Amino acid sequence: MNYEEIEEIVKNTISEKRFRHSQGVAKRAAELASIYGEDIEKARKIGIAHDIAKEMTKEEAMAYVKENGIVFDEIEAKEPGLWHSKLGAHIAVKKFGFTPDMVEAITYHTTGNVNMNTMDKIIYVADKTDETRTIIDREEAVKISNNNLDEGVLYIAKFMTEYSLKKDSLIHPDTINLINELISQKKNSQLKSKI
């Protein structure tokens, strides 16, 4: 399925505001893919589709989960704000024929994960730095992520963790593990540069 076909389905599935965000994520993902040598068209497709399940009601989401045998871990089960990543990934396979690597980027776009590849990181960053975002210092996040993707992921993961804690939201272990891994890599790199 081409980008325009996916975009049309997404447009008819989510609100105008969420659709503008998804278009912004597709645009930002394409920019990052260009910088980091990834497939631009694939990045656009993932970006436009990443929030396809975001506006499902709790009842719709639970029905979809039961119907399709989707399993949430302990934290996901208690935090409905995390559901749309797994549901969206599943829908992207069924509706758009996304490949496993594309689906992985949707799965990880909210929590992050220590095993993220470059495309996963691009979608994670694009989701938080598209032009509609106002909760983060977008200019700073864009500057950092355009210069060093891992530094951008770390900056965003730390910010989103603090933001979630202020809202009394649960923090997924994948996010904590990601932050720890990136900080460890940074410290190891700094140690090597001193030797």
CB 98 within 8 A of CB 92: yes
Q: What is the pLDDT of residue 42?
A: 98
Q: What is the pLDDT of residue 92?
A: 98
E strands, the chain, are none
CB 96 within 8 A of CB 112: no
Sign of CA dihedral 188, 192, 194, 195: positive
Q: Is 48 left (phi over 0), alpha (psi -120 to 50) or beta?
A: alpha
Q: What is the mean pLDDT of residues 23-30?
A: 98
For 127-167, the pLDDT digits (tens) are: 999 999 888 899 999 999 999 999 999 999 999 999 999 99
What number does CATH give the domain 3-194? 1.10.3210.10
Domain coordinates in residue numbering, the chain: 3-194
Q: What is the pLDDT of residue 113?
A: 97
Q: Which residue has the tokens 């980027």?
A: 105
168 pLDDT more than 80: yes
Kindly state the tokens that stand for 179: 């932050």
Q: What is the pLDDT of residue 189?
A: 81
Q: What is the DSSP string of 20-75?
A: HHHHHHHHHHHHHHHHHT--HHHHHHHHHHTTTTTT--HHHHHHHHHHHT----HH
CA angle 146, 154, 129 (to 5 degrees): 50
CB 83 within 8 A of CB 107: no
For 67-123, the pLDDT digits (tens) are: 999 999 999 999 999 999 999 999 999 999 999 999 999 999 999 999 999 999 999
What is the rounded distance in angstroms from the CA atom of residue 150 to the CA atom of residue 147?
Answer: 9
Q: What is the pLDDT of residue 195?
A: 60
Q: What is this structure's pTM?
A: 0.94
